[in-house]
Amino acid sequence: MKRIALFVPLVVFAVLSLFLLKGLDRDPTELPSALVGEAFPSFTLPSLSDEQRLITERDLGSRVVLVNVWATWCFACRIEHPMLNQLAAQGVSIIGLNYKDQNG
């Protein structure tokens, strides 16, 4: 029984190594999403420029639009903000959705 117990760390190391080796084959830039290929969800939200005007998914039409969900408390959102500004300067249409934010 003691001899088998000596091989347990080796087996754990082998399984862990295989798991980590499989991770090396993955593309780190690929972000899996359950929403890829799905229709954009329905929404009705007030416009920031005119609170009396409601915006819906129909306002997007068939054009390609980058929809970014952000919040003032989100650290990663602050990091990506300069890149979003660059994309907007290049003509990319961007719609921002403020998520659970009391400051904006």
- The string of pLDDT tens digits covering residues 7-33 is 888 999 999 999 888 888 887 777 777
**How far is 16 from 27, CA to CA, in rounded Å?**
19
**How far is 68 from 39, CA to CA, in rounded Å?**
16
Pair of tokens at residue 88: 């907007």
Check residue 7 and give its pLDDT: 86
Q: For residue range 30-54, what is the model confidence (pLDDT) as tens digits?
A: 777 777 778 778 888 888 788 889 9
Q: For residue range 59-104, what is the model confidence (pLDDT) as tens digits?
A: 877 778 888 888 888 888 889 999 999 999 999 988 888 877 775 4
